[in-house]
Amino acid sequence: MDIAVKEIRHMYTKTFKEHAIDLTIEQWPILAVLYDYGSLSQVEIADNIMRFPQSLSATIKLLIKKGYVIKEKSKKDKRSHNISLTQRGKEIVETTFPHVKHIRKQQWDNLSEEDYDKFFSIIEQIRKNVN
């Protein structure tokens, strides 16, 4: 499994570089979830992409520096901050998504619907085993 993950990461990195997309594989899911769900707290982003909230801090700071996201005080909870896409962030997601879609299609080439179902069943069982 580690080898497949490494090769997938390489595929994303190579594609982003070839198309001059200023993103990393770690940054992409954050932007994608914000595009889909709008303004979210760091905890909500982490829950959606299955990462620890603390592990996102540095990545979010880089996304702010690149002008892809902004961080604002939450209107619901003044102790919390929400992260939102900027117009530039929306544009990079819309530019990147067709390439991500192509990568995902390549990953599933020559696999059947049954293979797909089995794969997700196995992944779910692995998740249960480690939790």
Question: pLDDT for 53-97, tens place per residue?
Answer: 888 999 999 999 999 999 998 787 777 899 999 999 999 999 999
pLDDT value, residue 2: 77
**What was the pLDDT predicted at 110?**
86
As a whole number, mean pLDDT of residues 88-113 equals 92
Question: How is residue 124 written in tokens?
Answer: 């779910």
Per the CB < 8 A criterion, the answer to whether 46 and 53 are in contact is: yes
Its pTM stands at: 0.85
Q: Do residues 30 and 45 touch, judged by C-beta distance below 8 A? A: yes
- Mean pLDDT (the chain) is 91
pLDDT at 107 over 90: no
State the fold for domain 2-130.
Arc Repressor Mutant, subunit A (1.10.10)
Model confidence at 127: pLDDT above 90: no
Residue 102 has pLDDT above 80, yes or no: yes
Domain ranges of the chain: 2-130
Contacts of residue 44, Cβ cutoff 8 Å, sequence gap at least 6: 37
Q: With beta carbons less than 8 A apart as the criterion, state whether 69 and 60 touch.
A: yes
Grouping H, G, I as helix, E, B as strand and the rest as coil, residue 43 is helix
